[in-house]
Chains A and B, each alone.
Chain A
Amino acid sequence: MGEFKVHRVRFFDYMPSAIRAMAFNHRTERLAVARSDGAVEIFNFTDSYYQEKVIPGRDGRAVEALCWVGQRLFSAGLNGEITEYDLENLRPQYIVEAYGGPIWTISCNSQGTHLAVGCEDGTVKLFEILKEKIQFQRNLDRQKSRIISLCWHPSGAQIAAGMMDMIKIFDTETGRATHRLLVERGVGTSKTREVVVWSVAFLSDNTIVSGDSAGKVQIWDGSMGTLVRTHLVTKWDVLALSVSQDESSLIAGTSEGTVVQFQFLSSTVDRQDPEWVRTRTFKSHSHDVRALVLTDTAVVSGGMDTQLSVRPLLDKVEKNTQEAAQRKIAFPHRNLVSCAKKAGLLLFQFPDHLELWRLGESDGNGKPGDSLPLKRKPEKLLQLKRKGEDHICCSAVSPCGGWLVYSTVSSVRLYKLQYSNNSVSITKVSKLPRELQSVHQLCFSADSSRLFAASSQSSVVVVALNQLECKYLQTLRHKSGSRQPVHLLFPSEDGRWLATANTDCQIHVYNLQKMKLHCAVPVHSSCPTAIAIHPTSSRLVSVHADQQIFEFSLLQQEYTEWSRKLQKQGLHSVWLKRDTPVTSVGFSPRNPTHILLNDTFMFCIIDQSLPLPESRTLLLNQTVLRSLPGPERARQSHAFKICKNFQNVLSVALLDDLSLAVVERPLLDVMAQLPAPVRQKKFAT
């Protein structure tokens, strides 16, 4: 498999922020997730839950609710603003002030013509959705207390609004409140405390479902304004509700971290009239569940513990398949770590600052598996705070360690670093070309003389760097007409090629000597998650969200022999069952037939000279091989050499001195920093 000296890096204190709101687009199968720092992420549910897009947050943009209208995404937050996002340029498109104080909820009618927002001052405001903008239409009757939750009746004629201590039903034609449903307060000490209706759902048969801070899920008759049924679900709060599209099932998320499912069933076989019956309880979170989506096949939940959980409903999916497995997405699918391979530096990207570390050194030699004594400890060279209120969306350090660049949605900042025996000096490059403005991805060429920046309409801006100035060279464009953002950039080691991948699943390769498009790789149906070009043989390796691996020869402009063989034989089922995408591809200069891959739970070397694993052989055979004698070992070994020593891996990079830098972030460390969970009594503890 090859031996490496490994820098096991655990000083990247990456802390994901809590999930605050979610919205699912049933037509495109995209899930939008809003985090408490204001960032919005888009997951593609048809493509292995791949995190396609990330719109960075901003200080003070506390997104409280999300809403899809067709392909458009709207959010509303406690800063009192409604934002529509530009999903092609990954930034807010425009912001409309609602003038009603903090906005707690946003909801769109099923016709897609109007948005309703619930404000702190007790008004429900209707906005008309126009092309390219939204326009305020009118207020419904103003109430005395804040509007916490809203739901339109599918017909669009009524709106149910959850408030403090009550639910009101509004007629959208007249704007008058037609019914007032009083919600009972909790028992005991919380009697004096107002109850908050955190979530409300309005079904087409005029049933209203509410979830409140007293831990009740209540079913109301909306036409008569009467309470039908109360289900006491938890001692804490019911924070979120979600109803399936066919209205046969609904889920409620609680502070305990449980998700409770209710179904519309007849309770006994002989009775005809169906009612809402509590059926299942899922516990996929340790902390409060604050956002829920019930898709056709799965319960999607997220909350204070920052993980996105996708739990398939076993009556809706085929058992014992890839589909039936629960998924937890704890880490972003893009790289937050940038590595200066020559200088042995790591750049960590946080939303509000960057950290530059020098890796430790060791001169000891040991057996494989030993931990070597450190000669020099890893040291933090630099902590760079970002300017402005926008969060950092991407960053890079050059391979020589002499340049550092980061970008927010509004600006790009480039710095020159100089090292003198124990100190670092940093100089901002003052004049950047005007083309460097809205940037989604950044990287440096291998010789640190060029900066590549993925810009709008999946173009790439090339900037030349030298000691004195930084000069705009050219913008590379392709002709496919795709306007989706580029999420991967890879310049080849020899400086000849630049490969880009965008979220339309396209991969383009540019010739950097002629500064024009060289070729487009045939489009695979799944989005590429990592791409790389072999340093000597100009072959492009791409790994996709569905775990497929392709190798494309740039000179012949066709798939290589090995890639064809791999496709013909098919990948091993264990490989295909992995649930995290491969986030980086690398090559070993020591052995040109080796491809290095990693995802969150493993590190893998593919040896192209060895035979591919048969479907019946063991894929994870490293321990078995170690115990076998020489000739037998050679007979049994296959191309996929997988190492699972490292867990919760954020990044793996091969340095120029052939040592590996593995950046881990143990989930325990993340969990230790989370806010307080609820106190639960467990038997015998």
Chain B
Amino acid sequence: MAKKQRGKTASSSKTAHKEKTTENLNMILESSDDEAPEEVTFEDSKVQALRSMQQALDTARREKELLKEKRRKRQELFQEQKKRKLLPTDVLEEIDSSATKKQKQATDEAEEEQQEEEEDKDEKGKRREKKKKTKKSAHSRNLKGNYTVTTTNDRTLTSFQQQAAEDFIKSRLYGPGSCRTTSNELLSLQNKKGTNKSAAVQFVKKDWACKQKAKAEMLKKRWIHKQRFPSS
């Protein structure tokens, strides 16, 4: 108990520890009035006091270190999270490098462009390359694969307005409530009304309505499966 108390006091103050130990000693002496005082040599108690003091100091340091460690880990976690929000490093590197390198076209003309690059080895080519770089808008960058990074604020107000106007026409002519059918229906109507009737267009033309045919095929398979295993 005495140790504990001493420990606590020691932890609270470092500089005036000697005076305090004497005080504490007095306190112990006072508290154990009725008992016979245990014989403790001054040397012993001094050693004990010093040890406990050392322990207290150690715990304080450890606590501080723990706190530091915690903060550091937290910082690391934040950085990790920040990184995770960004694009992967290889992509970022690609962007950086492509800014300096020649911009490649990721379309069907890739082949052609390669040829051009080969040509570009001579000086004339280089000059032309420069010209090309200046011609292209600074807002778009092409990556290695089929990805293109473009800033979105490049589109002007007019194109948005144009899009809105086109959407207006589309919604008026083809939107809900416009009672439209499909070209397939129209063709089948024509077929029914015509003088020489033939099979529906999707059967005559093999390459037509591929999606619907694929879907029908799938449903048919499913149906057959169901017939075969009615329980499952």
Interface residues of A (CB under 8 A from B): 60, 62, 78-80, 101-102, 104, 120, 189-190, 193, 196, 213, 235-237, 255, 286, 288, 383-385, 415, 425-428, 430, 668-669, 671-680, 682, 685
Contact = CB atoms under 8 A, between A and B. Distances in A.
The 6 closest A-B pairs by CB, nearest first: A679-B181, A102-B165, A676-B180, A427-B115, A78-B165, A78-B162
Contact of B161 (A101, A193, A383, A678): A101
B216 interface: no
B205 interface: yes
A60 B159 contact: yes
B133 to A, nearest CB: 15
A591 to B, nearest CB: 38
B52 to A, nearest CB: 85
B38 interface: no
A60 B162 contact: yes
Interface in B149-199: 158-159, 161-162, 164-166, 172-174, 177-187, 189-190, 192-193
A80 B187 contact: no
B39 interface: no
24 contacts: A60-B159, A79-B158, A101-B158, A102-B165, A193-B177, A237-B173, A286-B190, A384-B108, A384-B112, A425-B111, A426-B111, A430-B119, A430-B124, A430-B125, A668-B201, A668-B205, A671-B187, A672-B208, A676-B174, A677-B180, A678-B178, A679-B181, A682-B192, A685-B193
Contacts of B164: 102
B183 A678 contact: no
B109 interface: yes
B81 interface: no
Contacts of A190: 177
Given A102-B164, A685-B192, 7 more contacts: A62-B166, A79-B162, A101-B161, A286-B186, A384-B108, A675-B174, A678-B179
Contact of B181 (A101, A430, A672, A676): A676
Contact of B183 (A101, A213, A236, A676): A676
Contact of B179 (A79, A102, A236, A685): A236
Contacts of B201: 668, 672
Nearest to B166: A78
Given A120-B165, A669-B205, A426 B112 contact: yes
Contacts of A425: 111, 115
A677 B166 contact: no
B172 A189 contact: no
Contacts of B115: 425-428
B107 interface: yes
Interface of B: 107-109, 111-112, 115-116, 119, 124-125, 128, 158-159, 161-162, 164-166, 172-174, 177-187, 189-190, 192-193, 201, 205, 208
A237 B172 contact: yes
A432 to B, nearest CB: 12
B116 A671 contact: no
Contacts of B111: 425-426
A184 B129 CA distance: 62
Contact of B182 (A235, A676, A680): A676
Contacts of B165: 78, 101-102, 104, 120
A428 B174 contact: no
A102 B162 contact: yes
B116 A428 contact: yes
B112 A62 contact: no
A188 B230 CA distance: 48
Contact of A80 (B161, B180, B184, B189): B161
Nearest to B208: A672
B189 A682 contact: yes
B183 to A, nearest CB: 6
A678 B172 contact: no
A672 B183 contact: yes
A669 B183 CA distance: 11
A426 B186 CA distance: 43
A677 B178 contact: no
Contacts of B159: 60, 79
Contacts of A672: 183-184, 187, 201, 205, 208
Contacts of B190: 286
Contacts of A383: 108
A671 B188 CA distance: 12
Nearest to A186: B177
A196 B186 contact: no
Given A78-B162, A427-B115, A677 B181 contact: yes
A468 to B, nearest CB: 12
Contacts of A79: 158-159, 162
Nearest to B114: A425
B183 A671 contact: yes
A14 to B, nearest CB: 15
Contacts of B112: 384, 415, 426-428
B110 to A, nearest CB: 11
B178 A236 contact: yes
A42 to B, nearest CB: 25
A685 B177 contact: no
A365 B112 CA distance: 40
A668 B107 contact: no
Contacts of A101: 158, 161, 165
A255 B169 CA distance: 13
Contacts of B116: 427-428, 430
A677 B108 contact: no
Given A668-B201, A672-B205, A196 B172 contact: yes
Nearest to A290: B173
B136 to A, nearest CB: 11
Instruction: Give the most central of B125, B158, B166, B174: most A CB within 10 Å.
Output: B158
A120 B161 contact: yes
Nearest to B179: A679
Contacts of B125: 430
A383 B112 CA distance: 11
A189 B193 contact: no
Contacts of A196: 172
B181 A678 contact: yes
Contact of B109 (A80, A384, A671): A384
A148 B61 CA distance: 81
A80 B162 contact: yes
B184 to A, nearest CB: 8
Contact of A213 (B128, B172, B205): B172
B179 to A, nearest CB: 5
Instruction: Give the most central of B165, B178, B185, B189: most A CB within 10 Å.
Output: B165
A101 B158 CA distance: 7
A678 B187 contact: no
Contacts of A671: 183, 186-187
Contacts of B166: 62, 78
A674 B159 CA distance: 25
B198 to A, nearest CB: 11
B194 to A, nearest CB: 11
B173 A255 contact: yes
A235 to B, nearest CB: 7
A384 B109 CA distance: 7
B183 A80 contact: no
B35 to A, nearest CB: 99
